[in-house]
Structure 1
């Protein structure tokens, strides 16, 4: 993602300062993303993608050429530390799906909210969801659907064994 963000920013004639204004993220944080010193949360990646005029999945894609249908095989997804984009090459998506392996602590994400709505479905393990200070425990098979414009974050309560499907949706 790091090189792609820098490339897209420069292609669009944007400075880090301009991108910071467009995203509401700090110049320092964006610089860390571009240098690979920070992996952005889904919320932060959505802000960057919107400002750069690309689908958020493209930021996680090995091949951003785009298609009208994609099939992701379990062993072929590009993975970052915590997030795996699903169907990253699909252009024009209205939903942004990710497989997430949350850590055992809530991430110290300075930007835990984004426009739109979000669905969190626990595939395995158990998690705790903090939605605007309201803590909810979710186990395998449980899900939550919520307003993503309010701060939210998840953590595993099952060690490293939790896997969660997160689907973010933004109409704009």
Structure 2
């Protein structure tokens, strides 16, 4: 790990000059300059002072960011065959993300799980078939190629009243499925 470069990146990210960081960490501007150019190395105690002055911790500082996976294929999907319907988890580990997409398969005469009231929002795209979106006391028919978008303030679910299987791309924010 290039400690000097990482300190400089953090300092710039925080909008601090070398002078300001020197003042906060009680070190000299010259020492910090040499450190950022890898001309010297800090002790653990000094590094801890610098990182603390940058609003971080040693554990965060040394945490290596894993390369973020962006594209997912069928081998990444998890298929959850429930008693009445099937959920395809099409992006793994989405609990850590801001939104959670699933592909829901609803056979004829089946209803999905009911989403209780929550503070998020949801989007759905009917890829195949036709579903009825039941939201509170209201219901809406959503055909193939149509979408729905709603806040989570009311409980809601989908049901398939047609004779063919429906497939719905359903996205929730925050992750709730």
- Please, what is the CA RMSD of the aligned residues? 2.6
Partner of 1:133: 137
- In the TM superposition, 1:1-172 aligns within 5 A as 68-74=68-74, 76-81=76-81, 82-89=86-93, 92-103=96-107, 104-107=109-112, 109=114, 112-170=116-174
Question: With structure 2 as the length reference, what TM-score do the two structures score?
Answer: 0.51
Flag as ranges the 4+ runs of structure 1 deviating above 4 A. none
3-state secondary structure, aligned to 1:87 = coil
Which consecutive unaligned segments of at least 5 residues does structure 2 have? 1-65
Deviation string 1:49-68 (CA, Å, 9 cap, x unpaired) is: xxxxxxxxxxxxxxxxx861
Partner of 1:30: none
Deviation string 1:18-38 (CA, Å, 9 cap, x unpaired) is: xxxxxxxxxxxxxxxxxxxxx
Query: How far off is 1:92 after superposition?
Result: 3.5
Larger Rg: 2
* 130 and 71 in structure 1: CA distance in 2 versus 1, 3 angstrom threshold: same
Contact 1:131 1:153 (8 Å CA) reproduced: yes
* 70 and 158 in structure 1: CA distance in 2 versus 1, 3 angstrom threshold: farther
Contact 2:125 2:146 (8 Å CA) reproduced: yes
Which consecutive unaligned segments of at least 5 residues does structure 1 have? 1-65
* 156 and 75 in structure 1: CA distance in 2 versus 1, 3 angstrom threshold: farther
3-state secondary structure, aligned to 1:79 = strand
3-state secondary structure, aligned to 2:97 = coil
**Which whole-Å CA distance do the structure 2 matches of 1:90 and 1:105 have between them?**
26
Contact 1:69 1:90 (8 Å CA) reproduced: no
**Which whole-Å CA distance do the structure 2 matches of 1:134 and 1:119 have between them?**
17
Count of residues paired in the alignment: 105
Contact 1:78 1:85 (8 Å CA) reproduced: yes
Contact 1:67 1:91 (8 Å CA) reproduced: no
Question: With structure 1 as the length reference, what TM-score do the two structures score?
Answer: 0.52
